[in-house]
Amino acid sequence: MKRTGYGRRRVLVTGGAGFLGSHLIDRLLERGDEVLCVDNLFTGDKSNIDHLVGNPRFEFMRHDVCFPLFVEVDAIFNLACPASPIHYQHDPVQTTKTSVHGAINMLGLAKRLGVPIFQASTSEVYGDPAVHPQVESYWGNVNPIGIRSCYDEGKRCAETLFFDYHRQHGLDVKVARIFNTYGPRMHIADGRVVSNLIVQALKGEDLTIYGDGSQTRSFCYCDDLIEAFLLFMDSGPGTHGPINIGNPIEFTIRQLAETIIAKVGGTTKLVQLPLPQDDPLQRKPDISMARQKLGWEPKIELDQGLDRTIAYFKQKIAE
């Protein structure tokens, strides 16, 4: 990436007040970059970046990426989009607009400035996969008209735009397919399985699982994920992806719930509800490409990551 005076970069992070965006900004500032955080606060939370107020290398701008943005930066991380089913299904049309119009606007900005741009894509592009574990060459099994389609197909279209800008305009794009991630600063009511189960356990409620809990997920702690983001963006103009970023160790939802109950304690029990429409039965990344291209693999085990996440939610609930 090109650098501004004194070797410092000015980096744009869209969705920067969100769970992952705020952790990314912390890392960028730690290594000396200037950061412009852009967020419309639909699902982002200013409390995630309150600790940065007063930092001379940090700037916040309230803006919706569905509208053009004219700023001067040296690199762009595009993380703007609701990422949990509760949030992205609340306004599905706006979710698709954020993925598609947001990609067009950020790609246009990157093209004008001639800077690299990173896209936070998702394992949801694989849908309910018929290939396991999921490799980047797999095209997916996605319902184009289901209740999750606003997110799944929006992200798939965004990937199309990124690679068309690369082929047509020579843009240096980086597309990461993010698998289930967890950690501090997750929204307390985002409906994701880790935050749901931890909050229910801490409140002494029964833990809700869908189906018999035999469906699988692979959980990557946020610090590991952000490290992959930075390695990918710094990998040079020859590496574009898409690259799976996630933890390849697979757990059933029932295993996760039982682990959380054991950590939190109490007398809570598991309650089974029907499976939601198009909910994937298996989700596990093949990270061979991340290992080969980025020299990356996750280091933080679920046991350690859950301890940190439980401590965060315990504090949030007490506030």
Q: Are 156 and 98 in contact (CB under 8 A)?
A: no
* Residues in the chain, total: 319
Element at 11 (helix H, strand E): strand 10-14
| Percent helix / strand / coil, the chain, rounded to 5 | 40, 20, 40
Task: Quick: pLDDT tens for 77-122.
Answer: 999 987 666 666 777 898 899 999 999 999 999 999 999 999 999 9
The dihedral sign for the CA sequence 161, 164, 169, 172: positive
pLDDT (tens digit, 9 = 90+) per residue, 164-215? Answer: 999 999 999 999 999 999 999 998 877 788 998 999 999 999 898 888 888 8
Residue 300 · residue 221 · CB < 8 Å: yes
Query: What is the predicted pLDDT for the residue at 42?
Result: 86
CB burial string 52-83: b at 16+ within 10 A, e below: beeeeebbbeebbbbeebeeebbbbbbbbbbb
Q: Which helix (H) or strand (E) holds 37?
A: strand 34-39
Confidence of residue 8 (pLDDT cuts 50, 70, 90): low
To the question of domain 8-181+221-246+284-299 being in CATH 3.40.50.300, the answer is no
Q: Structural domain boundaries of the chain?
A: 8-181+221-246+284-299
Element containing residue 208 per DSSP (H, E): strand 207-210
Percent of the chain with pLDDT over 90: 70
- pLDDT top residue among 71 and 215: 71
Query: What is the average pLDDT score of the chain?
Result: 91
* pLDDT score at 265: 85
pLDDT of 267: 76
Handedness of CA 269, 213, 190, 180 (dihedral sign): positive
Confidence band, pLDDT 50/70/90 cuts, at residue 4: very low
Q: Which of 88, 126, 151, 165 is catalytic?
A: 151
pLDDT number for residue 48 = 95
Confidence of residue 5 (pLDDT cuts 50, 70, 90): very low
Query: Counting beta carbons within 10 angstroms of the beta carbon of residue 168, is it exposed (0 to 12), middle (13 to 18) or buried (19 or more)?
Result: exposed
Alpha carbon separation from 138 to 31, 142, 161, 166, 235 (Å, rounded): 35, 12, 18, 20, 23
Contacts (Cβ under 8 Å, ≥6 apart) of 32: 7, 8, 57
**Would you state the pLDDT for residue 192?**
83
pLDDT digits (tens, 9 = 90+) for 130-139: 888 999 999 9
pLDDT digits (tens, 9 = 90+) for 262-275: 999 877 788 888 87
What are phi and psi for residue 31, nearest 5 degrees? -95, 10
Q: Give residue 277's pLDDT band: very low, low, confident or very high (50, 70, 90).
A: low
Q: What is the pLDDT of residues 278-307, one digit of tens each?
A: 567 778 899 999 999 999 999 999 999 999
What residues have CB less than 8 Å from 109, skipping those under 6 apart?
A: 12, 68, 69, 70, 71, 73, 76
Strand partners, 270: 207
Decide if 219 contacts 229 (C-beta within 8 A). no
Which pLDDT does position 85 carry in this prediction?
67
> DSSP alpha helices (H): ranges in the chain?
19-30, 85-88, 92-113, 149-169, 193-202, 222-233, 253-264, 288-289, 302-318
SS3 240: coil
Kindly state the average pLDDT of the residues 57-78: 97
Flag whether pLDDT at 3 surpasses 70: no
**Considering just the CA atoms, what is the radius of gyration of the chain in Å?**
19
Residue 126: active-site member: no
Predicted confidence (pLDDT) at residue 162 exceeds the cutoff of 60: yes
Is the Cβ–Cβ distance between 147 and 83 less than 8 Å? no
